[in-house]
Amino acid sequence: MDLSKSPIFSLMQRRLGWLTQRQSVLAHNIANADTPNYKPKDLSKQSFQRMLETPRTSISMAQTSGAHIAPRENKSAYRQEVVKDNYESALAGNAVVLEEQLMKVSETQGAHTLATNLYRKHVQMLKQAIGRDR
C-alpha cells in the first residue's frame, strides 16, 4: 500500500519536508552567528490553501549536448527569504540573534513532533482498520 498517494499522508510528508528544511536553514543561521554582514534567513510560511492545491509540474532544464553545462539540481523546493525585521545588529553587521533563532528551532521541533505523532496515529488507525494492530 502506497501511503504517499493518500491526501492526508501527502500533506504530512510535505509538512515534514518543510520543517526539515526550516531546521536546516535555522542551523545555518546559528552557525553563521559570528560571520560579518550575515543576514539570517528563514523559509516563507506555509499556506494551508497552497498545500491543498495540486503541485504543478515544472519544466526542467536538460543537457542536450556534452558541451553544455549540466543543470544543477534544486536542493530545496521551499523558498528562502532574508528576515527583514531585524531589531538587533552587531557592529560587524551581523543580524543573527541567537535567542530568536533558538526560539524558532524550538517552535520547529514542536511542530515536527506534532506532525510525526499525527503520522504515527494515522498509520495505527489504518493498521487497526485492516486488522493488523496486534
User: Residues 99, 104, 106, CA angle at the centre, nearest 5°?
Assistant: 95
pLDDT band at 115 (very low <50, low <70, confident <90, very high): very high
0.85 cut: is pTM over it?
no
- On the question of pLDDT at 124 being above 80, the answer is yes
pLDDT in tens, 47-100: 666 656 655 555 566 677 777 776 655 555 566 665 555 556 666 678 888 999
Alpha-carbon distances, residue 29 vs 19, 33, 34, 106, 132 (angstroms): 15, 6, 10, 14, 44
Higher pLDDT, 55 or 30: 30
* Confidence (pLDDT) at 131: 86
